[in-house]
Structure 1
Amino acid sequence: MTDLRQECLWEFVTPPAAPAAALTAQIKADVCVIGGGITGLCTAINLLEQGKSVALLEARVIGHGGSGRNVGLVNAGTWIRPDDVEATLGQQQGSRLNKVLGEAPAEVFAMIEHLGIDCQARNEGTLHMAHNANGVADLQSRHQQWSRRGADVELLTGAQCQEYCGTDKISAALLDRRAGTINPMGYTRGLAAAVRRLGGQVFEQSAVTGLTREGSAWLVKTAHGAVSADKVVISTGAYTEGDWTALQKQYFRGYYYQVASKPLQGAAADNVLKHGQGSWDTRTVLSSIRRDDQGRLLLGSMGRVDNKPAWFVRSWADRIQGHYFPQLGKVDWEMHWTGCIDFTPDHLMRLFEPAPGIVAVTGYNGRGNTTGTVIGRAFAQYLLQDDPDALPIPFAPMKPVSAPLLRTGFYETGFSLYHAGQCLRVLL
């Protein structure tokens, strides 16, 4: 049996990028982007293509955060149902957000083609799998709501559902043909390479320590340098650090872990998600399931396992795999990793303009591949045109989430107990 190591699969399989230097001088740019994830990189690309100069600051290395560590689902819409979005935001704003994010997968795949990014992109759709009768009812509602809006979705049942999912434990699955999968680290590094090709300056190991107004410009300080810029974009998500910004008070942090097998071969393995979709189930503490281009089985769930022993991780993965895909027999698990998600109480993102010339975003709630891509474009358009209509939703006032640390701790404790129950075969 292979030793189960703590390593992110996407970093393991993606060709390494040339390292970027840390910022060690004071420089000028039209726009300073803070955060080297999908949002920041897409903002930079859209600005550079319009002739603006951009300096991008990443606290660690490109892809370190959620942009390089997520499941790689290219989902349409938000975490919640489209009717709920409109009930929360109002019909006009909610309808606009549903439309923008419903079309977001197409924008991701267009960006990949436009920039020639090699990231295992597959536009085959995704499967939302019902694990019980309540899950079926939820998917029926989602199917009806998205169909009413003209989305290319289909509710699979019976033999067709079993064929697509590769398991008889799922009685219904919502196939969203708008969506798909990517290698998120490949996508993120590909975006960073495009920023460099377009003349953008990318600095790694350059955490921001201060943000102050100096005359008509903003001065973004790091430990060993600074960027003077007319405009600033803050796109650090769940990995926001430092006392220089109040953004980290606008969400509570959640964790998501994944476990990857060694590459699987044979007819039994080929029948698992045989048409190439990524998937997740309708459990409150959901499980995500997908394959990579080398045939690995990837399982994920809410919570963290970077602080748990290997036997716990392996036991959980065995339990989920044995339930859904017993035909695989004993699976050899190769690696596991954990990432962070920025959650909001209503599961909707927030856009902010904390001061003239500064824009910020948080609260992707696990939909960063698509949402980050479209917000990057929207932020660039807003900074270029000063037109609020470029944004999918209006800017919100900054109102701290109540007790974010308690929320994080409460959810993490619940997730850990739930997964322990799964390992002990008390829960599934």
Structure 2
Amino acid sequence: MTLNTLPDNSSSALPRSLYRAVTPEVRYPALTTELDVDIAVIGAGFTGLSSALHLLEDGAEVAVFDAHEPGWGASGRNGGQVNPGLKREPADVAGYFGAERGERLARLSGEAPQYVFDLVRRHDIDCDAAQTGSIRVVRTDAERPVIDTAITDWSARGIRLDYLDRAKLADLLGTDRYPSGLLDPRGGMLNPLAYARGLAAAVVKSKGQIFSSSPVSGLKREGDFWRFVAGSGTVRARKVVLATNGYTDGLWPHLRESVVPIYSAIAATDPLPEAMARRILPGRHVAYESSWRVLYFRLDRENRLLMGGPGLRQRDGSDKSTFRYLIRCAEALYPDLRGIGWSYFWNGQVAVTEDHFPHLHEPAPGLVAALGYNGRGIAMATMMGRIVARRLLGAAEDTLELPVSTIKPFRFHAFWKPVVGLRTLQELAMDRLRGLA
């Protein structure tokens, strides 16, 4: 692959990351004129691009607008894990939404990774996609019920997840630090920035338009149309999709306050020797913890270890000193990594909702907003695009897997991010006392 040469001082430049270094750059123009379009999509991440692609496949006229470029937000910065399910298990989902709707949503979330991999194949997207399976672990024996519940819930729905004890985990992960876990064959990995850019290319190939460096402001209703400013141009559209997720601003009242954008950080090593890579993750599974810190890790195609976890500083940054926690966690799991170089450090904002479910809103006629994937963005945001397209094309609300809900701001929203940062530091200190970090 060629290197991305977009200069760091560009207003649309992605943060320096491994993905940016290995993914071919694609440029899209800024809007500079007046534009009339049937459906305008604001936000060129997974939600927006998937919505646009599904709408185009059904014959709609679509234009996508982004303040930066496709994949600039968390879509191009995440850990690259395509994991099935939601933050809550199927029985809990059914209890929350009701048996019929909840079962449909749980089933959709389980099928979402396969949908992503099928979409990659259908549009011939070069993004290092591999459905190698997801390993979910807990750090203590006391947390094992989390694993047991997941296995029981999915088994009741015809999905087999394999229980893994410490010895089996050691074989698959190359570390004996975890007492129990499960293997879910539905999961896998990809380069998320390459996937986002591949979706963007599919949108354009399907006769959609994409405009980068075109921040949107002044969204308002005028008769049967929506009008807004994008870049130095203006747009009139019959329908609008708000797909800004963890980077949602004040474009629509209270939408920003309905999620808390939490930074997740990732560090990547230099390519590991082949023998070391085989010891660490011989089956190329992706792995993640079910715990407060949600450590997640995988190997890429070039044998680089990507180690992700909570951002200790809740702000953008690539200073190595702020990622030492991740390096320490990686070396605790894999002592052989001591002396291995770490070349890339980056972070991005995950949109967390109060109920830990994705949200679909319709706050005005012809306006749909979708956001809040709580760390399941690759699979669920892609699926959400399909749901958004169905809704805009006339599907009845009760036929959707996710209900249309009212925007509900977090109480004391302004305090949530600093509280999360403080809690992270406190939990880290406790983990170090317990010998877990």
Query: TM-score, length-normalised on structure 1?
Result: 0.93
User: Cα gap change, 1:308/1:291 in structure 2, threshold over 3 Å: closer, same or farther?
Assistant: closer
Secondary structure of 2:171's partner?
Answer: helix
8 Å CA contact 1:126–1:180 kept in 2: the answer is yes
1:283 paired residue number:
291
Between the aligned partners of 2:165 and 2:436, the Cα distance in structure 1 is: 25
Alignment of 1:181-330 (within 5 A): 181-305=189-313, 306=316, 310-314=320-324, 316-330=325-339
1:334 paired residue number:
343
**Selected match of 1:374 from 360, 363, 383:** 383
Cα offset, 1:160, TM superposition: 2.5
Alignment of 1:56-67 (within 5 A): 56-67=64-75
1:3 paired residue number:
none
**Equivalent position amino acid for 2:234 in 1:** A
2:80 paired residue number:
72
1:170 paired residue number:
178
**The 10-residue stretch of structure 1 (211-220 or 151-160) with the greater mean CA deviation from structure 2:** 151-160
Deviations 1:372-397 (A, max 9, x none): 11111111122112422452121111
8 Å CA contact 1:256–1:341 kept in 2: the answer is yes
Cα offset, 1:211, TM superposition: 1.3
8 Å CA contact 1:31–1:232 kept in 2: the answer is yes
8 Å CA contact 1:209–1:244 kept in 2: the answer is no
Deviations 1:116-163 (A, max 9, x none): 001111111100012110232211111111111111311122432211
8 Å CA contact 2:43–2:244 kept in 1: the answer is yes
1:111 paired residue number:
119
Deviations 1:254-280 (A, max 9, x none): 110011100101423222121111111
Secondary structure of 1:29's partner?
Answer: strand
Deviations 1:5-26 (A, max 9, x none): x722111111111x11111111
Cα offset, 1:209, TM superposition: 0.5
Overall identity of the aligned pairs, in %: 36
Secondary structure of 2:280's partner?
Answer: coil
Deviations 1:235-269 (A, max 9, x none): 10010123444311211121100111001014232
1:415 paired to 2:428? no
2:370 paired residue number:
361
Between the aligned partners of 1:427 and 1:322, the Cα distance in structure 2 is: 12
User: Cα gap change, 1:242/1:399 in structure 2, threshold over 3 Å: closer, same or farther?
Assistant: closer
Q: CA RMSD in A?
A: 1.9
Between the aligned partners of 1:224 and 1:168, the Cα distance in structure 2 is: 56
Between the aligned partners of 2:191 and 2:254, the Cα distance in structure 1 is: 31
Secondary structure of 2:119's partner?
Answer: helix
1:40 paired to 2:30? no
2:11 paired residue number:
none
Deviations 1:23-70 (A, max 9, x none): 111111110001000111111111111221111100111111011111
Deviations 1:203-252 (A, max 9, x none): 01111101111221111322411221111111100101234443112111
8 Å CA contact 1:30–1:52 kept in 2: the answer is yes
**Equivalent position amino acid for 1:106 in 2:** Q
**Equivalent position amino acid for 2:292 in 1:** T
Secondary structure of 1:103's partner?
Answer: helix
User: Cα gap change, 1:425/1:101 in structure 2, threshold over 3 Å: closer, same or farther?
Assistant: closer
**The 10-residue stretch of structure 1 (363-372 or 241-250) with the greater mean CA deviation from structure 2:** 241-250
Cα offset, 1:304, TM superposition: 4.5
Cα offset, 1:111, TM superposition: 0.5
**The 10-residue stretch of structure 1 (132-141 or 100-109) with the greater mean CA deviation from structure 2:** 132-141
Between the aligned partners of 2:428 and 2:66, the Cα distance in structure 1 is: 34
2:396 paired residue number:
387
Cα offset, 1:308, TM superposition: 8.1
Deviations 1:391-413 (A, max 9, x none): 21211112211112211110012
Secondary structure of 1:385's partner?
Answer: coil
Deviations 1:279-300 (A, max 9, x none): 1113311211111110011111
1:154 paired residue number:
162
Q: How many residues align?
A: 421
1:20 paired to 2:28? yes
Between the aligned partners of 1:11 and 1:225, the Cα distance in structure 2 is: 28
Between the aligned partners of 1:196 and 1:281, the Cα distance in structure 2 is: 37
Between the aligned partners of 2:317 and 2:56, the Cα distance in structure 1 is: 41
8 Å CA contact 1:378–1:390 kept in 2: the answer is no
**Selected match of 2:89 from 81, 104, 111:** 81
Between the aligned partners of 1:62 and 1:147, the Cα distance in structure 2 is: 38
Query: TM-score, length-normalised on structure 2?
Result: 0.92
Q: Which runs of 5+ in 1 are unaligned?
A: 1-5
**The 10-residue stretch of structure 1 (276-285 or 257-266) with the greater mean CA deviation from structure 2:** 276-285
Secondary structure of 1:242's partner?
Answer: coil
User: Cα gap change, 1:207/1:420 in structure 2, threshold over 3 Å: closer, same or farther?
Assistant: farther
Cα offset, 1:199, TM superposition: 1.1
Between the aligned partners of 2:153 and 2:251, the Cα distance in structure 1 is: 42
**The 10-residue stretch of structure 1 (399-408 or 28-37) with the greater mean CA deviation from structure 2:** 399-408
Q: Which runs of 5+ in 2 are unaligned?
A: 1-14
Secondary structure of 2:217's partner?
Answer: strand
**The 10-residue stretch of structure 1 (165-174 or 83-92) with the greater mean CA deviation from structure 2:** 83-92
8 Å CA contact 1:319–1:422 kept in 2: the answer is no
